[in-house]
Amino acid sequence: MPNLKYEYANLSHGRTRYIEAGSGAPVILIHGAGYLANADNWLPVLPALAERYRCLAVDCLNWGLGDPLDREFSFAYLVDFIREFQDVMGLKKSHIVGHSMGGWLADLLAYESPQRVDKLVDSAGGGMATRALTNMVNFQPPSSEEIRKQASAKLKSLGEQAAPLVEEYVTHLSRPEVASAFGKVMRHMTDPATRQRYHLARRLPYITAPMLIVWGRNDEVNDVAMAEEKHKLVANSKVHYIDDCGHFIQQQKPAEFSRAVIDFLG
């Protein structure tokens, strides 16, 4: 594991946690949508990516261990959150890598603010279907013991450093106000009208950044056909399919994912 620095940045809503590792061209990594999802989702691929790049894996607004924003919002706020994070980090532009929900956000950012994106990696990203997952629509906060169990499995690569971070997860994510704020994002994000409003089909043809689409051939969340749809709509794009791989590519095939991203970013 490279030298990981857990830091907090002060944004307009309050503090946001992020992981910084490596040096070189900046790469912002945006995670997916689960309640325990955050910057730590990228731990399996940070060792390889940090050998070449300055990696900034960020906890999205109302995810992770930062300050929550207690109001209903989703895509517009979250995309602007990434721009504000770039601003606070002193970055006029950067590479953007997003997984699942993070891929959807990355694509929206590249459409809205092409000058802020150098190269774009969409890893099993959403945005091509208006349906929402049942566990998102019917969000209920997990118990403290379930949080501890999931966090322990997720952070095991950190070895002895994992234990205090697991307890941070439990303390923070068990707070009623944190679960309430997250639930408001889920309600807004899973509203059919919201998902239709931020559908990517009309936006993708206007993306000008070079784009790599990475997809597991056995993706059980976002069908592999979505990868080809995106590829057809983005002129400057290519697809890398990963065999024997489902939705959680960074966890299931970290070495192949890292090689594909490094080859693409250059």
Q: Which fold has domain 5-138+176-261?
A: Rossmann fold (3.40.50)
The CA R_g of the chain, rounded to the nearest whole Å, is 17
Angstrom CA distances, 64 to 45, 168, 181, 257, stand at 18, 10, 12, 23
User: Closest Cα to residue 38, out of 13, 18, 21?
Assistant: 18
Structure confidence by residue, pLDDT tens digits, 156-169: 999 999 999 999 99
Domain ranges of the chain: 5-138+176-261
The whole-angstrom separation of Cα 66 and Cα 58 is 10
Helices assigned H by DSSP within the chain: 46-49, 75-88, 101-112, 134-137, 144-154, 162-173, 176-190, 192-197, 225-233, 249-252, 254-265
Enter the pTM of the model: 0.97
Per the document, the length of the chain is: 266
- Whether 135 shows a pLDDT value over 80: the answer reads no
Angstrom CA distances, 251 to 201, 216, 228, stand at 28, 12, 23
Q: Which two tokens mark 81? A: 């959150």
Structure confidence by residue, pLDDT tens digits, 3-14: 899 999 999 999
State the pLDDT at residue 137.
Answer: 75
State the pLDDT at residue 195.
Answer: 94
In whole numbers, what is the pLDDT of the chain averaged over residues?
96
pLDDT classification of 143: cutoffs 50, 70, 90: very high
Check if the beta carbon of residue 6 is closer than 8 Å to that of residue 17: yes
* 3-class DSSP state of 171: helix
pLDDT classification of 154: cutoffs 50, 70, 90: very high
Q: Mean per-residue pLDDT for 165-188?
A: 96
Residue 45: what residue type?
V
| Percentage of the chain modeled with pLDDT above 70 | 98
User: Closest Cα to residue 97, out of 34, 32, 17, 28?
Assistant: 28
| Percentage of the chain modeled with pLDDT above 90 | 94
- Whether 1 shows a pLDDT value over 60: the answer reads no
pLDDT classification of 206: cutoffs 50, 70, 90: very high
Q: Which two tokens mark 205? A: 């043809």
- Whether 178 shows a pLDDT value over 70: the answer reads yes
Q: Which two tokens mark 131? A: 């349906």
Count Cβ atoms below 10 Å from residue 9 Cβ, excluding itself.
17
CA angle 114, 120, 126 (to 5 degrees): 100
- Whether 2 shows a pLDDT value over 80: the answer reads no
Structure confidence by residue, pLDDT tens digits, 46-86: 999 999 999 999 999 999 999 999 999 999 999 999 999 99
State the pLDDT at residue 138.
Answer: 82
String of DSSP letters for 184-247:
HHHHHHH-HHHHHHT-STTTGGG--S-EEEEEETT-SSS-THHHHHHHHH-TTEEEEEETT--S
Q: Mean per-residue pLDDT for 93-122?
A: 98
